Amino acid sequence: MILKVDMIDGKYVICMDKDKKMFALDKKEIKAPSELKKGWYVVIDDDGGSVSFSEHKPSAKN
């Protein structure tokens, strides 16, 4: 799943998916880097649950 960071609010990273569904992710749980900003992407591996971050939109796996 690819989410785009919409805002950072306290201990939460507020993200949106391609269908405009909103998600509030706990920064500590996802181990968000300190440089994470609005507009970055959060990629959650649906199989393994790993989380990664990118300044640029990652390509979808198909």
Dihedral sign of CA atoms 58, 35, 49, 13 in order: negative
Q: What is the pLDDT of residue 29?
A: 95
> pLDDT for 2-49, tens place per residue?
999 999 999 999 999 999 999 999 999 999 999 999 999 999 998 888
Contact of 14 with 22, CB cutoff 8 Å: yes
Q: Could you tell me which of 43, 7, 35, 37 has the C-alpha nearest to residue 22?
A: 7
> Most confidently modeled of 8-12, 48-52, 57-61?
8-12
Q: pTM of the entire structure?
A: 0.88
Which residue, chain included where needed, has tokens 């990118």?
Answer: 54
Q: What is the pLDDT of residue 61?
A: 63
